Chains A and B, each alone.
Chain A
Amino acid sequence: MKRIITLKINGAPVEDAIDDNVLLIDYLRGARHLTGTKQGCDGGECGACTVLVDGRARLSCITLAASCEGREVETIEGQATNGRLSALQRAFHQSLGAQCGFCTPGMIMAADALLRRNPTPDDTQIKAALGGNLCRCTGYVKIIRSVRAAAGMGREAAP
């Protein structure tokens, strides 16, 4: 059964006709061509598909697109503004937080959710917030370092 959904994706209002059984990840990658969100385990176990829904980290592979009616979805494509990388993206680049890069969009979105509610997390809090995100290159130390660096950039940018 089809339904019309209206939502915001990366700040832009969107209206689409979708099937009831469409998952958010398939909607984003297939209908909206936002392929930065990665399909990993496909069962809510790896965090590669993490996006933000109303500012909170959600696993798009186990979220129904229809349940996002009226909500604001943010993906990795929404991180950069006017061609400038976000603090998290720059920190992951500079601190070598990405190896093969497949888990990176999910890591950055999960970290973004953390920094919005806690701009100055310690390592324990960073590890807890990224607990649902797996990196098969196992580069966790530099990922944690990257989030810490991004938090530092946020502090520098604050007035």
Chain B
Amino acid sequence: MSRALPKFRLLRPESVEQALDALRATPGARLCAGGTDLIVNMRRGLVAAETLVDLSGIGDLKTIGMDESGLRIGAGVTLRDLADHAGIALSYRAISQASRAVAGPSHREAATIGGNLCQDTRCLYYNQSHWWRKSTDFCLKYRGDICHVAPRGKRCRAAFCGDLAPALMVYGAQVDIAGPKGIRRIALTDLYREDGTDYLTLGRDEIVIAVIVPPTDAASVYDKIRVRGAIDFPLAGVAVACLTTPDGAKQISIAVTGTNSRPVGIDVPPLQDREDPKAYFAALGKRMQKGVSPQRTTTIAPHYRRLSVAALAMRLARSLI
């Protein structure tokens, strides 16, 4: 059973500038958007903060713009609104499918794309009650000095489980980040690092304010493996985009979530016009297995998840050819 929230001060800025000022003025403050990840973790005693900066009142973060120059999604757009956007469903199907695959419908009413991209990494030994974690002397990600998943390792292996990141990465998405020095734009893949504890390259005084997706003619798809059809985080999630080049080759992009401490892009060669698809997909499956590192962060065995990633990627890629 969880517990009531610890005491904190809640700030509700109405603009990004006010939010940045709040972060600057209160070191240790945490950002909160929909709260579907942070509030749960605070209730479990995983996250403590004397001040929360609630971004849900900033109207500028809640807009979606789509034209010939591409797609711009404000970080405060809810996953429900993202899933309901007809233009995105038509032109960026994987993004639409990924937003609909997150948790349950009531979560998606509150959860935002910015929150989904920045959500905490997850592990069987971390997302537990305080007494459960205390019984194992805690872990590297929280208070402890050992990783129960990889006891000889030196870093936390908690897995990044956001559904949106891979669906955006296959389109080469970028993120706009507001900070004390203005706005910087980086590739979404550079927002992450392979460390379960320190998985974001985002500074404590910075805010992801928008996601930028270039225009594309690529077809795409996202699907995830999970025990139940709703609510569950992905044991593994795979996004695939496929673009047919003028010479008839199929340029395939693949990204995966749920297996590493960051979303992982997999380098895949194009399927040439007259290439044998059977041999190509067999090689693709092997490449997928090598490209991911599922650990004992869930109740489902790593080897099964590795095989599942390969099977899912092959199935999804085939569906686009």
Docked-complex contact A67 and B106, CB < 8 angstroms: no
One of B8, B43, B44, B109 near A20 (C-beta < 8 A): B8
Tell me if B10 counts as interface (CB < 8 A to partner A): yes
Q: Across the two chains, which residue of chain A brings its CB closest to B108?
A: A132
Name B100's closest neighbour in chain A (CB-CB): A128
In the bound complex, CA of A62 to CA of B229 (Å) = 21
Q: Give chain A residues whose Cβ lies under 8 Å from the Cβ of B230.
A: 128, 131-132
Q: A44 to B41: give the CA distance in the assembly, Å.
A: 11
Known: A42-B1, A44-B40. A59 touches B10 (CB 8 A): no
> Which residues 1-40 of B sit at the A interface, judged by CB distance below 8 A?
1-2, 4-10, 12, 35-36, 39-40
Chain B 89-123 interface residues, beta-carbon cutoff 8 Å to A: 103-107, 109-110
Q: Interface size on B (CB < 8 Å)?
A: 30
* The one of A56, A66, A110 that contacts B10, using a Cβ cutoff of 8 Å: A66
* With A43-B44, A131-B230, A132-B231: A64-B36 Cβ-Cβ less than 8 Å: no
Contacts known (A19-B7, A57-B105, A62-B35); A67 close to B40, Cβ less than 8 A: no
Q: Which partner residue on chain A sits nearest B39 by CB separation? A: A62
Bound: A121/B35 CA distance, A: 29
Cβ A110 vs Cβ B9 within 8 A: no
The reply to whether A67 and B54 form a contact with Cβ atoms under 8 Å apart is yes
Q: Which of B8, B105, B230 has the most CB of A within 10 A?
A: B105
A132, B103: Cβ atoms closer than 8 Å: yes
Answer yes or no: A129 CB below 8 A from chain B CBs: yes
A1-B10, A131-B229, A131-B230 known; A56 vs B103 contact (CB < 8 Å) = no
Q: Which residues of B contact A110 (CB under 8 A)?
A: 105-106
Contact A42 B231 (CB under 8 A): no
A97 at the interface (CB under 8 A from B): no
A131 partner residues in chain B, CB cutoff 8 A: 104-105, 229-231
How many residues from A make CB contacts under 8 Å with B? Answer: 31
* Inter-chain contact B7/A57, CB cutoff 8 Å: no
Among B9, B80, B110, B229, the one with the most A-chain Cβ atoms within 10 Å of its Cβ is B110
Nearest neighbor of A57 in chain B, beta-carbon distance: B106
| A6 contacts partner chain B, Cβ-Cβ < 8 Å | no
- Give the residues in chain A near B5, CB-CB below 8 Å: 21-23
Query: 18 A-B residue contacts at CB 8 Å?
Result: A1-B10, A42-B1, A42-B43, A43-B40, A44-B40, A44-B107, A47-B106, A59-B106, A63-B39, A63-B110, A64-B54, A66-B12, A67-B54, A129-B105, A131-B105, A132-B230, A132-B231, A133-B106
Q: List the 9 closest pairs (A to B, CB-CB), nearest first.
A: A132-B104, A131-B230, A20-B10, A21-B5, A62-B39, A57-B106, A42-B2, A56-B109, A132-B106
Binding site for A on B (CB under 8 A): 1-2, 4-10, 12, 35-36, 39-40, 43-44, 52, 54, 56, 80, 103-107, 109-110, 229-231
Q: A23-B5, A44-B103, A66-B12 are known; give 18 further A-B pairs, CB within 8 A.
A: A21-B4, A21-B10, A42-B1, A43-B2, A44-B39, A44-B40, A56-B80, A56-B109, A57-B105, A58-B109, A59-B110, A63-B35, A63-B110, A64-B10, A131-B104, A131-B230, A132-B104, A132-B107
